[in-house]
Amino acid sequence: MPKHALRRVMTASVALAGTLALGLTDATAHATPSLDYVALGDSYSAGSGVLPIDLTNLLCLRSTANYPHVIASATGARLKDVTCGAAQTSHFTQAQYPGVAPQVDALSTGTDLVTLTIGGNDNNTFINAITACGSAGVLSGGKGSPCKDRHGTSFVDQIENNTYPALKAALRTVRDKAPNARVAALGYPWITPATADPSCFVKLPVAAGDVPYLRDIQTRLNAVVERAAEETGATYVDFSRVSEGHDACEAPGTRWIEPLLFGHSLVPVHPNALGERRMAEHTMSALGLS
Protein backbone atom coordinates (compact mmCIF):
# COMPACT_ATOMS: atom_id res chain seq x y z
CA MET A 1 0.00 0.00 0.00
CA PRO A 2 1.41 3.46 -0.88
CA LYS A 3 2.54 5.56 2.08
CA HIS A 4 -0.01 8.31 1.46
CA ALA A 5 -2.86 5.77 1.39
CA LEU A 6 -1.58 4.13 4.57
CA ARG A 7 -1.50 7.54 6.29
CA ARG A 8 -5.12 8.16 5.28
CA VAL A 9 -6.17 4.79 6.69
CA MET A 10 -4.34 5.42 9.97
CA THR A 11 -5.80 8.93 10.26
CA ALA A 12 -9.31 7.61 9.65
CA SER A 13 -8.78 4.82 12.22
CA VAL A 14 -7.66 7.28 14.87
CA ALA A 15 -10.64 9.53 14.15
CA LEU A 16 -13.04 6.58 14.32
CA ALA A 17 -11.54 5.40 17.60
CA GLY A 18 -11.90 8.90 19.02
CA THR A 19 -15.52 9.09 17.92
CA LEU A 20 -16.30 5.72 19.49
CA ALA A 21 -14.60 6.72 22.72
CA LEU A 22 -16.57 9.96 22.87
CA GLY A 23 -19.77 8.03 22.17
CA LEU A 24 -19.07 5.57 24.95
CA THR A 25 -18.24 8.38 27.34
CA ASP A 26 -21.43 10.22 26.42
CA ALA A 27 -23.53 7.06 26.78
CA THR A 28 -21.99 6.36 30.18
CA ALA A 29 -22.64 9.90 31.30
CA HIS A 30 -26.30 9.67 30.33
CA ALA A 31 -26.94 6.12 31.55
CA THR A 32 -29.55 5.89 34.28
CA PRO A 33 -27.91 4.65 37.46
CA SER A 34 -29.55 1.72 39.21
CA LEU A 35 -31.95 2.84 41.89
CA ASP A 36 -31.53 1.81 45.51
CA TYR A 37 -35.12 0.79 46.13
CA VAL A 38 -36.71 -0.15 49.46
CA ALA A 39 -40.21 -1.64 49.62
CA LEU A 40 -42.18 -1.19 52.83
CA GLY A 41 -45.72 -2.06 53.78
CA ASP A 42 -48.36 -4.66 54.52
CA SER A 43 -49.75 -7.73 52.76
CA TYR A 44 -50.85 -5.75 49.69
CA SER A 45 -47.20 -4.74 49.26
CA ALA A 46 -45.92 -8.18 50.22
CA GLY A 47 -48.22 -9.95 47.78
CA SER A 48 -49.35 -12.33 50.50
CA GLY A 49 -51.01 -15.33 48.92
CA VAL A 50 -49.23 -14.99 45.57
CA LEU A 51 -46.78 -17.71 44.65
CA PRO A 52 -43.85 -18.17 44.82
CA ILE A 53 -43.28 -17.38 48.49
CA ASP A 54 -40.09 -15.68 49.62
CA LEU A 55 -38.50 -18.41 51.72
CA THR A 56 -36.13 -16.03 53.48
CA ASN A 57 -38.93 -14.95 55.85
CA LEU A 58 -41.97 -17.19 56.08
CA LEU A 59 -43.54 -15.15 58.89
CA CYS A 60 -44.20 -12.25 56.54
CA LEU A 61 -45.78 -14.38 53.82
CA ARG A 62 -43.99 -12.30 51.20
CA SER A 63 -44.12 -13.16 47.51
CA THR A 64 -41.27 -12.86 45.05
CA ALA A 65 -43.91 -11.86 42.50
CA ASN A 66 -45.21 -8.88 44.49
CA TYR A 67 -45.35 -5.42 42.98
CA PRO A 68 -41.95 -4.37 44.41
CA HIS A 69 -40.27 -7.29 42.65
CA VAL A 70 -42.09 -6.48 39.41
CA ILE A 71 -40.94 -2.85 39.63
CA ALA A 72 -37.36 -3.86 40.43
CA SER A 73 -37.26 -6.32 37.55
CA ALA A 74 -38.62 -3.76 35.08
CA THR A 75 -36.32 -0.92 36.18
CA GLY A 76 -33.17 -2.79 37.16
CA ALA A 77 -33.41 -1.31 40.66
CA ARG A 78 -31.55 -2.85 43.59
CA LEU A 79 -34.43 -3.97 45.76
CA LYS A 80 -34.51 -4.39 49.52
CA ASP A 81 -37.95 -5.82 50.25
CA VAL A 82 -39.05 -5.68 53.90
CA THR A 83 -42.79 -5.80 53.26
CA CYS A 84 -44.69 -8.02 55.66
CA GLY A 85 -48.20 -9.42 55.77
CA ALA A 86 -50.39 -8.00 58.56
CA ALA A 87 -48.06 -5.01 59.08
CA GLN A 88 -49.47 -1.87 60.65
CA THR A 89 -47.99 1.62 60.60
CA SER A 90 -46.50 0.90 64.04
CA HIS A 91 -44.30 -1.78 62.47
CA PHE A 92 -42.39 0.85 60.57
CA THR A 93 -40.69 1.69 63.87
CA GLN A 94 -41.36 -1.45 65.96
CA ALA A 95 -40.51 -5.10 65.38
CA GLN A 96 -43.52 -6.98 64.03
CA TYR A 97 -42.16 -10.42 64.96
CA PRO A 98 -39.06 -11.62 66.81
CA GLY A 99 -36.21 -11.38 64.36
CA VAL A 100 -38.13 -9.04 62.03
CA ALA A 101 -36.63 -5.56 62.35
CA PRO A 102 -38.67 -2.36 62.16
CA GLN A 103 -39.24 -1.68 58.50
CA VAL A 104 -37.61 1.75 58.40
CA ASP A 105 -34.32 0.17 59.49
CA ALA A 106 -33.94 -0.79 55.81
CA LEU A 107 -33.77 2.91 54.81
CA SER A 108 -30.73 5.13 54.57
CA THR A 109 -29.54 8.40 53.09
CA GLY A 110 -28.57 6.39 50.01
CA THR A 111 -32.11 5.15 49.36
CA ASP A 112 -33.45 6.52 46.06
CA LEU A 113 -36.96 5.08 45.94
CA VAL A 114 -39.46 3.91 48.55
CA THR A 115 -42.86 2.36 47.88
CA LEU A 116 -45.42 1.37 50.47
CA THR A 117 -49.01 0.30 50.99
CA ILE A 118 -49.98 0.67 54.63
CA GLY A 119 -52.91 1.61 56.88
CA GLY A 120 -55.45 -1.08 56.11
CA ASN A 121 -54.46 -3.14 59.15
CA ASP A 122 -54.49 -0.26 61.61
CA ASN A 123 -57.50 -0.75 63.92
CA ASN A 124 -57.84 -4.08 62.05
CA THR A 125 -60.00 -2.07 59.64
CA PHE A 126 -59.97 -4.47 56.69
CA ILE A 127 -60.37 -7.72 58.59
CA ASN A 128 -63.02 -6.35 60.97
CA ALA A 129 -65.08 -4.71 58.24
CA ILE A 130 -64.98 -7.72 55.92
CA THR A 131 -65.70 -10.17 58.74
CA ALA A 132 -68.51 -8.08 60.23
CA CYS A 133 -70.20 -7.39 56.91
CA GLY A 134 -69.71 -10.95 55.63
CA SER A 135 -71.27 -12.44 58.76
CA ALA A 136 -74.14 -9.98 58.70
CA GLY A 137 -74.69 -10.66 55.02
CA VAL A 138 -75.00 -14.39 55.55
CA LEU A 139 -77.45 -13.96 58.43
CA SER A 140 -79.59 -11.52 56.42
CA GLY A 141 -79.58 -13.60 53.27
CA GLY A 142 -77.98 -10.71 51.43
CA LYS A 143 -80.84 -8.30 52.14
CA GLY A 144 -80.69 -4.79 53.52
CA SER A 145 -77.65 -3.17 55.14
CA PRO A 146 -77.24 -4.97 58.48
CA CYS A 147 -73.53 -4.16 58.79
CA LYS A 148 -74.05 -0.45 58.23
CA ASP A 149 -77.04 -0.46 60.56
CA ARG A 150 -74.97 -1.98 63.34
CA HIS A 151 -71.59 -0.30 62.91
CA GLY A 152 -72.53 3.04 61.39
CA THR A 153 -69.54 5.40 61.20
CA SER A 154 -67.34 3.43 63.60
CA PHE A 155 -64.93 2.23 60.91
CA VAL A 156 -64.45 5.62 59.23
CA ASP A 157 -64.18 7.30 62.63
CA GLN A 158 -61.27 5.01 63.49
CA ILE A 159 -59.66 5.74 60.14
CA GLU A 160 -59.88 9.49 60.64
CA ASN A 161 -59.01 9.57 64.33
CA ASN A 162 -56.35 6.85 64.48
CA THR A 163 -55.11 5.75 61.07
CA TYR A 164 -54.64 9.20 59.58
CA PRO A 165 -52.29 10.57 62.27
CA ALA A 166 -50.44 7.24 62.37
CA LEU A 167 -49.92 7.40 58.60
CA LYS A 168 -48.53 10.93 58.84
CA ALA A 169 -46.14 9.91 61.60
CA ALA A 170 -45.00 6.84 59.66
CA LEU A 171 -44.39 8.81 56.45
CA ARG A 172 -42.46 11.48 58.35
CA THR A 173 -40.24 8.77 59.78
CA VAL A 174 -39.64 7.41 56.28
CA ARG A 175 -38.67 10.90 55.15
CA ASP A 176 -36.30 11.35 58.10
CA LYS A 177 -34.58 8.01 57.44
CA ALA A 178 -34.41 8.44 53.66
CA PRO A 179 -34.25 12.20 53.04
CA ASN A 180 -33.08 11.82 49.44
CA ALA A 181 -35.63 9.24 48.37
CA ARG A 182 -38.73 9.57 46.28
CA VAL A 183 -41.53 8.10 48.38
CA ALA A 184 -44.66 6.62 46.81
CA ALA A 185 -47.66 5.79 49.00
CA LEU A 186 -50.04 3.52 47.12
CA GLY A 187 -53.78 3.48 47.58
CA TYR A 188 -55.67 0.20 47.81
CA PRO A 189 -57.36 -1.17 44.64
CA TRP A 190 -61.10 -1.65 44.88
CA ILE A 191 -62.22 -4.73 46.79
CA THR A 192 -65.94 -4.38 46.04
CA PRO A 193 -67.87 -2.97 43.11
CA ALA A 194 -69.72 0.31 43.56
CA THR A 195 -73.07 -1.47 43.80
CA ALA A 196 -74.14 -4.99 44.70
CA ASP A 197 -73.81 -7.78 42.15
CA PRO A 198 -76.24 -10.56 43.12
CA SER A 199 -74.13 -13.15 41.32
CA CYS A 200 -71.20 -12.29 43.57
CA PHE A 201 -72.91 -13.08 46.88
CA VAL A 202 -71.61 -16.65 46.96
CA LYS A 203 -68.02 -15.35 46.65
CA LEU A 204 -68.41 -12.17 48.70
CA PRO A 205 -71.39 -12.69 51.02
CA VAL A 206 -72.09 -9.05 51.77
CA ALA A 207 -75.65 -7.73 51.89
CA ALA A 208 -76.72 -5.53 48.98
CA GLY A 209 -76.86 -2.37 51.08
CA ASP A 210 -73.49 -3.07 52.66
CA VAL A 211 -71.55 -3.31 49.40
CA PRO A 212 -71.51 0.49 48.97
CA TYR A 213 -70.93 0.77 52.73
CA LEU A 214 -67.70 -1.24 52.44
CA ARG A 215 -66.74 0.77 49.39
CA ASP A 216 -67.20 4.00 51.35
CA ILE A 217 -64.92 2.68 54.10
CA GLN A 218 -62.21 1.93 51.56
CA THR A 219 -62.74 5.32 49.93
CA ARG A 220 -62.13 7.01 53.29
CA LEU A 221 -59.01 4.92 53.91
CA ASN A 222 -57.55 5.84 50.53
CA ALA A 223 -58.43 9.47 51.16
CA VAL A 224 -56.41 9.62 54.37
CA VAL A 225 -53.48 7.86 52.69
CA GLU A 226 -53.59 10.52 49.98
CA ARG A 227 -53.85 13.34 52.51
CA ALA A 228 -50.98 12.01 54.62
CA ALA A 229 -48.84 11.59 51.50
CA GLU A 230 -49.46 15.13 50.33
CA GLU A 231 -48.69 16.56 53.76
CA THR A 232 -45.37 14.72 54.06
CA GLY A 233 -44.00 15.23 50.54
CA ALA A 234 -44.77 11.75 49.25
CA THR A 235 -46.42 10.86 45.94
CA TYR A 236 -49.86 9.28 46.23
CA VAL A 237 -50.54 6.57 43.65
CA ASP A 238 -54.30 6.51 43.04
CA PHE A 239 -55.93 3.23 41.98
CA SER A 240 -59.55 4.38 42.12
CA ARG A 241 -59.90 4.70 38.36
CA VAL A 242 -57.60 2.00 37.02
CA SER A 243 -58.87 -0.71 39.37
CA GLU A 244 -62.53 -0.05 38.59
CA GLY A 245 -64.03 -3.24 37.17
CA HIS A 246 -61.25 -5.40 38.63
CA ASP A 247 -62.72 -5.99 42.09
CA ALA A 248 -63.25 -9.32 43.85
CA CYS A 249 -66.60 -9.90 42.12
CA GLU A 250 -65.04 -10.10 38.66
CA ALA A 251 -64.04 -13.30 36.86
CA PRO A 252 -60.56 -14.81 37.07
CA GLY A 253 -58.27 -13.08 34.61
CA THR A 254 -60.11 -9.81 35.14
CA ARG A 255 -60.16 -9.37 38.91
CA TRP A 256 -57.11 -8.03 40.72
CA ILE A 257 -58.48 -8.94 44.15
CA GLU A 258 -59.48 -12.45 45.15
CA PRO A 259 -62.91 -12.95 46.77
CA LEU A 260 -63.58 -14.09 50.30
CA LEU A 261 -64.78 -17.54 49.17
CA PHE A 262 -63.94 -19.80 46.22
CA GLY A 263 -60.97 -17.74 45.14
CA HIS A 264 -57.67 -18.85 43.66
CA SER A 265 -55.28 -17.49 46.27
CA LEU A 266 -53.96 -18.67 49.61
CA VAL A 267 -55.07 -15.37 51.16
CA PRO A 268 -58.58 -14.12 50.34
CA VAL A 269 -59.52 -10.48 49.74
CA HIS A 270 -55.97 -9.70 48.61
CA PRO A 271 -54.36 -8.98 45.24
CA ASN A 272 -53.61 -11.94 43.01
CA ALA A 273 -50.60 -12.12 40.69
CA LEU A 274 -52.40 -10.06 38.04
CA GLY A 275 -53.27 -7.44 40.65
CA GLU A 276 -49.68 -7.18 41.83
CA ARG A 277 -48.48 -6.75 38.24
CA ARG A 278 -51.04 -4.07 37.53
CA MET A 279 -50.17 -2.27 40.76
CA ALA A 280 -46.54 -2.28 39.68
CA GLU A 281 -47.34 -1.02 36.18
CA HIS A 282 -49.55 1.82 37.39
CA THR A 283 -47.01 2.83 40.02
CA MET A 284 -44.22 2.95 37.43
CA SER A 285 -46.45 5.04 35.17
CA ALA A 286 -47.32 7.43 38.00
CA LEU A 287 -43.65 7.84 38.90
CA GLY A 288 -42.36 8.04 35.34
CA LEU A 289 -40.23 4.92 35.74
CA SER A 290 -39.38 2.67 32.81
The DSSP element (H or E) to which 113 belongs, if any, is strand 113-117
Give the Cα separation of 219 and 259 in Å (integer): 19
Q: Is 106 exposed, middle or buried (0-12, 13-18, 19+ CB in 10 A)?
A: middle
Radius of gyration of the chain (CA): 24
Q: Is 270 a catalytic residue?
A: yes
Backbone angles phi, psi at 114, to 5 degrees: -130, 130
263: left (phi over 0), alpha (psi -120 to 50) or beta: beta
**What's the CA angle centered on 65, arms 64 and 67, to 5 degrees?**
110
DSSP assignment of 81-140, as one string? E---TT--GGGGTS-SBTTB--GGGG--TT--EEEEE-STTGGGHHHHHHHHHHHHHHHH
The DSSP element (H or E) to which 186 belongs, if any, is strand 182-186
- Coil, helix or strand for 92? helix
Q: How many CA atoms lie within 13 A of 79 on its CB side?
A: 19
Q: How many CA atoms lie within 13 A of 217 on its CB side?
A: 30
- The closest alpha carbon to 125, from 220, 234, 230, belongs to 220
Active-site residue, from 69, 91, 270, 282 = 270
- Coil, helix or strand for 285? helix
Q: Is 145 a catalytic residue?
A: no
Active-site residue, from 34, 43, 69, 154 = 43
- Any idea which residues carry the catalytic annotation? 43, 270
